[in-house]
Amino acid sequence: MKVKSLCTCVVVGMLSLSLTCSAGAVSLQNEQLINPSMTSSDNAILSDIINSLDPDDRGNVTYIDETGKVLVNKESLRQEVIPLEPVSLVTYKNSDSSLTSITDITYKDNMSLTSVTDTTYKSNRYKDSTGDLYTLPVLQPKPACMGNHSVTPMDFSTNSASFPECRDHRNGPYRSVWSHIGFAWASTVVHLPTAREIRDNNSGYNGSTGFIYMGGWSNTNMAVDVGLQHSTKYNDWAPFMLIEGEKNPYTFKPRFDPDQEVRMKFYVPSDGNIALTLTGYADGEKITRTYVESAPGWTATGNGNLIKRTTSIGQIQDRQDYNDGSYIRRVRWSTSYIGTNSEDNIPWRNSQTYDYCSMPRSKVVVDYVHGGEETDNIFLD
């Protein structure tokens, strides 16, 4: 079964109109000003990005290049981008000179502590410009036996492929489904839990955070995690993008409502770029957002790519606690397709799946149907 796109012409905030509709896709010409608030050269770059996307994904597009520059086809989208900065793990000493490790530097204001110099390092804890804290996944290698990541693309049509390993990464429990190598496009529908179906504590000692996301590894073994993260404070789900070897991660507004089915699509629209498209309800209004970022090594043909789906309770690296009382329930993945693009894909089943990982098995309960459909539950009690 293949998903075919229809021939539709969509105007995406252009100053001048000249559209070409052929082969089921809308073509935007580089000389058009998609966003008159940007320079002509930036419009040309964004035009190329939009032309590479699936036709249904071109309405609200945010592109972030390798330098962190943001290009949008509607200027209002710029306000939805939230850059994140790492929060250093700082060691402090109290009045009797005993050392205390505090993960979030913001906690220092509530304690009589003095920082000790030269003891900071980055963790998977981040903050936005308002000081709100985020625990993001820790990007994992593919796999440990690969050693250092390659800077040269590999020909997986002739070389033996390598795959991820199911192991404890010391940053929270997870359930992952890994595809075989060779795909560049995947789409699924996933249930976002109700308030009763998730319990986490983003601001706690281990920063436990519910995650529902996709991503994987590129031809050059560079990791990508993109999808939705749960907010304990707001009980909603914020999009996020985390790409190895690139700038700091991003989260975005608007946040998606709980207790709904969201369409999540992850794909490679062009070599060196990845896209995340989300369709669902935010503040009661149905929306679609497409986020594109540069991502070295990812190939539009699928050569060397491995795609994954993951449900997890992310925790601060090395502060993992499998008994902190957190849980996430009834995360149902269904209607999953995988292939090379929107016109060349098939249902994601067992034959497209390399392996599954439940870590640890004692805390992860899966109602399994097949490679593209299951319901995940994680209980930390």
pLDDT tens per residue across span 114-142 = 333 333 335 799 999 999 989 999 988 76
Instruction: Give the C-alpha distances (Å, rounded to integers) separating 303 from 63, 154, 233.
Output: 23, 8, 41
Q: Is residue 292 domain-shared with residue 340, that is, in the same domain?
A: yes
For residue 4, tell me if it sits in a domain. Answer: no
Domain coverage including residue 114: 85-127
For residue 2, tell me if it sits in a domain. Answer: no
Torsion of CA 235, 241, 244, 245, to 10 degrees: -130
Hey, what are 18's tokens? 């000249």
Strand intervals (E) in 219-305:
223-231, 236-243, 250-252, 260-270, 273-282, 285-294
Looking at the 3D structure of the chain, how many domains does it have? 3
Q: Is residue 351 domain-shared with residue 242, that is, in the same domain?
A: yes
For residue 8, tell me if it sits in a domain. Answer: no
Q: Is residue 46 domain-shared with residue 75, that is, in the same domain?
A: yes
* Residue 85 CB neighbours (<10 A): 13
315-373 tens-digit pLDDT: 999 999 999 999 999 999 999 999 999 999 999 999 999 999 999 999 999 999 999 99
Q: Is residue 263 domain-shared with residue 328, that is, in the same domain?
A: yes
CA–CA gap between residue 279 and residue 269 (Å, rounded): 18
CATH code of residue 277: 2.60.120.1270
For residue 71, tell me if it sits in a domain. Answer: yes
Nearest in space to 31 (alpha carbons), one of 18, 21, 50: 18
Q: Is residue 115 domain-shared with residue 192, that is, in the same domain?
A: no
- b/e map 178-207, b = 16+ CB within 10 Å: bbbbbbbbbbbbbbbbeeebbbbbbbbebb
Q: Is residue 139 domain-shared with residue 94, that is, in the same domain?
A: no
> What pLDDT sits at residue 366?
98
Q: Is the peptide bond before 254 cis (omega within 30 degrees of 0)?
A: yes
52-106 tens-digit pLDDT: 999 999 999 999 999 999 999 999 999 999 999 998 755 444 444 443 333 333 3
Q: Is residue 216 domain-shared with residue 348, that is, in the same domain?
A: yes
Q: Is residue 104 domain-shared with residue 171, that is, in the same domain?
A: no
Q: Is residue 122 domain-shared with residue 147, that is, in the same domain?
A: no
202-233 tens-digit pLDDT: 988 999 999 999 999 998 889 999 999 999 99
180-198 tens-digit pLDDT: 999 999 999 999 999 999 9
Q: Is residue 215 domain-shared with residue 363, that is, in the same domain?
A: yes
